[in-house]
Amino acid sequence: MSNHLDIVQIILDSGLVVKGVLIILFGSSLLSWAIMFKKRSILKQMKASNNHFLEIFNSTENFQEVTSRCETLDFSPLHIIFTHGRQELLNLQEETGSNDRRQLLGHFKNFGLNGINRALERGALQANKRLDELMVTLASIGSLAPFVGLFGTVWGIIDSFRALGGESASLAVVAPGIAEALVATAIGLAAAIPAVWFYNYFSGENGRQLGEMEYFSKEFLNRVEKNLIQSK
């Protein structure tokens, strides 16, 4: 057992360059886990807020009532989209100089719903920014960590051959340096694999959120058209 290679001891005995590489990799791994917990919490809040918002939106035809009852749902992407669409409707009412739905209907007959559609798209873009937060960092850790670990491995192997110097080549001389080098690769993979998994998981969740936002935007436009038709 005295010849057993202890990983902690290998790290402590490694050179400055390899130690620096390992510190970077440990830091990257901790960062990816911190991002995972943060984004998971945000997604959970978004889903709960969306569900609450949809309950309110589907329970009333009055946009003003939806606005007043959803003031605290800042985490809901659907609420953000609704707010942009609702504000565009208010702007159109000011431009036409009246709250008369018939005048709005005349405006939409002439210009269509393009203005509202663009407002909904702006809302979706704003909501999407929150979904995309820290995704680039996760992708960078997942793609770069193995190469950082590989750099530590190559450097460690070079040091092993330097250590041979005038000594006779033997496993006892080379083994510690090679073990040190391989630890860098292992830790690089340990940092990269969770980061890649988290990135793929959150990308899938973001895609589902975007699908919900697109569906809601169409539902909002349908609601506007329905209200205008009923006002004829």
What are the residue boundaries of the structural domains of the chain, listed by start?
7-230
Per-residue model confidence as pLDDT tens digits over 36-78: 999 999 999 999 999 999 999 999 888 889 988 988 888 899 9
Residue 3 pLDDT class (50, 70, 90 cuts): very low
DSSP string, 63-128: HHHHHHHTTT-TT-HHHHHHHHHHHHHHHHHHHHTS--HHHHHHHHHHHTTHHHHHHHHHHHHHHH
Per-residue model confidence as pLDDT tens digits over 73-94: 888 999 999 999 999 888 877 7
HSE-CB of 82 using CA atoms within 13 angstroms: 27
Cβ–Cβ under 8 Å, residues 143 and 3 = no
pLDDT, position 1:
41
Per-residue model confidence as pLDDT tens digits over 147-157: 999 998 888 88
Cβ–Cβ under 8 Å, residues 36 and 194 = yes
Average pLDDT, integer, range 184-200: 93
What's the CA gap between 131 and 161, in Å, rounded?
Answer: 48
Percentage of the chain surpassing pLDDT 90?
A: 47
Integer-rounded Cα radius of gyration of the chain? 29
pTM of the predicted protein model: 0.80
> Mean of the per-residue pLDDT values for the chain?
84
Average pLDDT, integer, range 4-25: 78
**Which tokens sit at 176?**
């510690």
